C-alpha cells in the first residue's frame, strides 16, 4: 500500500514536471517566433525609412529628363544607406534614369500608380538572379523607386524551431531568398503586421508536435523530472507515509520481535557505579529504527497493543540480562515501563512475577507507571501494583510533576520511587540558585518515604546539584545514552565504574 501510494506520488510529480516542460516548450516556441518577427520587422522598417529619406528629395524630379547632374544626384542619395542598391526614376514601366546608369524595364508585378507602393521583385536587370524589395513613390505614370537588397532581411528569418518570411502585395520573400507568389490559402503561419509600411511578416513553426520537439530539446529535462519523481516517491515512502501505515505494521513488528529493549543505566552518582537500568523500547527493523518510542508507544496504547508489546519486551529482557547477572552488583535495579490502560493485565502480571523469579534475588524489578487516570487508588492497575509489591517487585512513579496526580492520592499509591521528570532537571540552574520545583519534589519524596531517581541529567552541574540535595540515583546523557543489550554488556565490563 505504501509502495503504491509512493508510486502514485512519483507519477504525480512526473506528470506535473512534464506538463511544466510542455508548457515551457510551447511558450518558448511562441516566444521565439515573436522575437524573430520583431527582428525582421524592425530591420525592414529601418531599411524602408532610409529608403524614403533617400527618395523624398527626388520626387519632384520624377518625369524630368535624365541629365548627368540628375544621375549624379541619384547616386549621391543612394550612398545614404549601404542597403540601397539603386535609385531609379521611372516613366510607365521603364526605369529611364538610374543611379546604376542603366535603363531597363521594370518586371511584374510592378505597376505605376499614384501612391507609395512596395514590391517584391524576383530580379531586376542590373542584378540578375537577386530578388529586391522595391519601394516606389509615384505620381501618376512617373515616380521614384528605391531597390533594396533582401539579404539583411533574409539573414534574420530563421531560428532553430521555425522560419519567417516577408509578404507584400501578392508576393512573399522566403528565408532562402526566393520570391514567390503568395499561396491562396496558407495554413500554419502566424501573421505580424507592420504599422509603418505596407508589408507583413509571417512566422511558421516547425510543425512537429510539441511532444516531439520536447523530446529533442528537453530530453534531459525529462530525465531530471523522472529522477526527481523517483526521489520524491522514495522520500514520501520513507518519511511521510510511515506514520499512518505504522498502525498496521506494529502488530506484525511485535510478533516478529522487532520491538527490542534498550537499557539506559541508572547511576549511583556518589560512587559513579551502575546501580541499574531502565528498559526502553526500540522498534528496529533491518538494522534501522522505524519510529521513536514516543510515536509507537502512543500507537500501541491507542490500539490496545501495550500488553503484547510489553510481554515480548520482557521475554527479551530476560534473555539479555540473565547471561549478565554475574557482572551485576549485589543489588541491580531494573526499571520497566508499564502503561496498559484498558487492557487485560493478568498475563502481564504473571510475566512480571516470572521475570523477577527467573532473574534471581539480586535483581530488583521496578515497575514504572506515569501519573495518569488509571493510576488512581482503587483502579485495576493499582490493584495489580499492590499484588506485584507483595511478590517483591517495586513501583516507581514516572514523570512526576507532569501529570495530574493529586497530592492526596499520591500518599495512597503503592510506591517505592519517585522519578523527577527531565523537564524539571533541564530547568536546573547553577549550584547556588534556588531551584524551587526540584527542591520541593525532593522534599515531598522524603516526607512520603520514597526514594528519588532524577532523569534527563545531562550536565555535571545538574548532577552536582542533585547529589547535593541527596539524589544519588541519576539517569541521563551525562552518564549514558540508552544502550543495546550488547552495548550494555560492554558498558558493564569497561565503562560502568569509570565515572
Tell whether residue 456 is a contact of ligand C2E (CB under 6 A): yes
Q: Judged by CB, which is closer to ligand C2E: 136, or 334?
A: 334
Is residue 109 reached through a cis peptide bond, with omega within 30 degrees of 0 on the bond before it? yes
Could you tell me the smallest distance in angstroms from the CB atom of residue 419 to ligand C2E?
7
Could you tell me the smallest distance in angstroms from the CB atom of residue 306 to ligand C2E?
6
- Check the CA dihedral 458-266-449-339 and report its sign: positive
Could you tell me the smallest distance in angstroms from the CB atom of residue 252 to ligand C2E?
18
Residues 371-410 that bind ligand C2E (CB under 6 A): 398-399
| 476 interface partner picked from ligand C2E, Ca ion, none, CB below 5 to 8 A per type | ligand C2E
3-state secondary structure of 86: strand
Q: How far apart are CA 12 and CA 370, in angstroms?
A: 45
Give the contact letters, 287-306, x = binds to ligand C2E (CB under 6 A), - = no: -----xxx--x---------
Q: Judged by CB, which is closer to ligand C2E: 123, or 289?
A: 289
Give me Rg for the CA atoms of the chain.
47
Q: Judged by CB, which is closer to Ca ion: 98, or 370?
A: 370
Give the contact letters, 407-436, x = binds to ligand C2E (CB under 6 A), - = no: ---------------x--------------
CB neighbourhood size of 1 (10 A): 9
Burial 136-153 (b: 16+ CB within 10 A, else e): bbbeeebbbbbbbbbeeb
Burial 473-492 (b: 16+ CB within 10 A, else e): bbbbebbbebbebeebbebb
Pairing of strands 142-149, 84-91: antiparallel
Contacts of 324 (CB under 8 A, 6+ apart): 488, 489, 492
Q: Which of 425, 11, 382, 44 is nearest to 199 (CA)?
A: 44
| 339 interface partner picked from Ca ion, ligand C2E, none, CB below 5 to 8 A per type | ligand C2E
* Cα distances (Å, whole numbers) of residue 160 to 25, 209, 295: 13, 15, 58
Segment contacting Ca ion (CB under 5 A): 70-78, 261-269, 283-291, 333-341?
Answer: 333-341
Could you tell me the smallest distance in angstroms from the CB atom of residue 323 to Ca ion?
24
Q: Which of 50, 343, 368, 371 binds Ca ion (CB under 5 A)?
A: 368
Counting DSSP H helices and E strands in the chain, the numbers are 14, 21
Tell whether residue 482 is a contact of ligand C2E (CB under 6 A): yes
| 462 interface partner picked from Ca ion, ligand C2E, none, CB below 5 to 8 A per type | none
Q: Which of 85, 168, 264, 337 binds Ca ion (CB under 5 A)?
A: 337
Q: Which of 264, 268, 394, 435 binds ligand C2E (CB under 6 A)?
A: 264
Q: How far apart are CA 315 and CA 392, in angstroms?
A: 19
Tell whether residue 371 is a contact of Ca ion (CB under 5 A): no
Could you tell me the smallest distance in angstroms from the CB atom of residue 441 to ligand C2E?
15
Strands of 84-91's sheet in order across: 104-105, 94-98, 84-91, 142-149, 132-139, 116-121
| 342 interface partner picked from ligand C2E, Ca ion, none, CB below 5 to 8 A per type | none
Q: How far apart are CA 143 and CA 95, in angstroms?
A: 9
First to last CA, the chain: 50
Tell whether residue 126 is a contact of ligand C2E (CB under 6 A): no
Could you tell me the smallest distance in angstroms from the CB atom of residue 282 to ligand C2E?
7
Cβ–Cβ < 8 Å for 281, 270: no
Residues 327-366 that bind ligand C2E (CB under 6 A): 337-339
Segment contacting ligand C2E (CB under 6 A): 85-93, 180-188, 432-440, 455-463?
Answer: 455-463
CA neighbours closer than 13 Å in the CB half-sphere of residue 64: 13
Residues 384-413 that bind Ca ion (CB under 5 A): 398-399
Q: Judged by CB, which is closer to ligand C2E: 192, or 263?
A: 263
Q: Which of 105, 477, 490, 497 binds ligand C2E (CB under 6 A)?
A: 477
Contacting positions for Ca ion (CB under 5 A): 337, 368, 398-399
Contacting positions for ligand C2E (CB under 6 A): 264, 279-281, 292-294, 297, 310, 313, 337-339, 398-399, 422, 455-458, 476-477, 482
Amino acid at each position: 500500500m505504501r509502495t503504491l501510494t509512493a508510486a502514485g506520488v512519483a507519477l504525480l510529480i512526473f506528470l506535473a514536471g512534464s506538463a511544466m516542460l510542455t508548457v515551457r516548450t510551447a511558450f518558448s516556441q511562441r516566444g521565439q517566433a515573436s522575437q524573430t518577427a520583431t527582428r525582421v520587422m524592425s530591420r525592414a522598417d529601418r531599411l524602408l525609412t532610409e529608403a524614403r529619406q533617400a527618395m523624398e528629395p527626388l520626387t519632384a524630379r520624377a518625369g524630368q529628363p535624365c541629365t548627368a547632374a540628375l544621375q549624379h544626384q541619384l547616386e549621391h542619395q543612394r550612398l545614404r544607406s549601404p542597403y540601397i542598391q539603386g535609385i531609379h526614376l521611372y516613366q510607365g514601366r521603364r526605369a529611364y534614369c538610374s543611379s546604376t546608369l542603366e535603363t531597363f524595364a521594370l518586371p511584374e508585378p510592378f505597376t505605376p500608380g499614384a501612391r507609395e507602393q512596395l514590391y517584391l521583385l524576383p530580379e531586376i536587370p542590373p542584378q540578375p538572379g537577386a530578388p529586391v524589395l522595391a519601394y516606389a513613390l509615384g505620381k501618376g505614370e512617373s515616380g521614384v523607386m528605391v531597390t533594396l537588397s533582401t539579404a539583411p532581411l533574409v539573414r534574420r528569418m530563421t531560428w532553430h524551431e521555425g522560419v519567417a518570411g516577408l509578404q507584400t502585395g501578392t508576393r512573399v520573400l522566403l528565408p532562402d531568398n526566393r520570391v514567390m507568389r503568395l499561396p491562396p490559402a496558407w495554413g500554419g503561419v502566424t501573421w505580424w503586421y507592420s504599422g509603418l509600411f505596407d508589408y507583413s511578416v509571417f512566422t511558421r513553426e516547425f510543425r512537429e508536435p510539441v511532444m516531439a520537439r520536447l523530446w529533442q530539446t528537453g530530453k534531459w529535462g525529462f530525465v531530471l523530472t523522472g529522477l526527481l519523481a523517483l526521489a520524491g516517491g522514495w522520500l514520501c515512502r520513507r518519511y511521510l507515509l510511515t506514520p499512518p501505515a505504522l498502525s498496521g505494521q506494529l502488530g506484525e513488528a511485535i510478533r516478529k520481535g522487532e520491538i527490542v529493549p534498550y537499557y539506559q543505566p541508572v547511576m549511583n552518582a556518589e560512587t559513579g557505579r551502575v546501580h541499574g537500568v531502565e528498559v526502553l523500547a526500540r522498534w528496529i527493523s533491518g538494522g534501522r529504527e522505524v519510529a521513536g518510542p514516543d510515536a509507537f508507544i502512543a500507537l500501541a496504547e491507542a490500539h490496545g497493543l501495550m500488553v503484547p508489546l510489553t510481554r515480548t519486551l520482557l521475554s527479551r529482557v530476560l534473555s539479555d540480562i540473565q547471561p549478565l547477572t554475574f557482572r551485576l552488583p549485589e543489588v541491580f535495579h531494573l526499571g520497566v515501563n508499564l502503561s496498559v490502560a484498558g487492557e487485560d493485565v493478568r498475563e502481564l502480571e504473571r510475566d512480571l512475577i516470572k521475570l523477577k523469579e527467573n532473574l534471581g534475588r539480586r535483581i530488583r524489578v521496578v515497575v514504572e507507571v506515569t501519573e495518569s487516570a488509571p493510576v488512581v487508588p482503587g483502579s485495576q492497575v493499582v490493584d495489580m501494583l499492590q499484588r506485584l509489591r507483595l511478590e517483591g517487585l517495586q513501583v516507581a512513579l514516572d514523570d512526576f510533576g507532569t501529570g495530574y496526580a493529586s497530592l492526596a492520592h499520591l500518599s495512597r499509591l503503592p510506591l517505592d520511587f519517585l522519578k523527577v521528570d527531565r523537564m524539571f532537571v533541564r530547568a536546573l540552574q547553577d549550584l547556588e540558585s534556588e531551584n524551587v520545583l526540584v527542591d520541593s519534589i525532593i522534599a515531598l519524596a522524603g516526607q512520603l518515604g520514597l526514594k528519588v531517581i532524577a532523569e534527563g541529567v545531562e550536565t555535571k552541574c545538574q548532577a552536582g546539584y542533585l547529589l547535593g540535595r541527596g539524589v544519588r540515583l541519576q539517569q541521563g546523557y551525562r552518564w549514558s545514552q540508552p544502550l543495546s543489550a550488547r552495548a550494555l554488556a560492554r558498558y558493564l565490563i569497561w565503562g560502568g565504574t569509570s565515572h
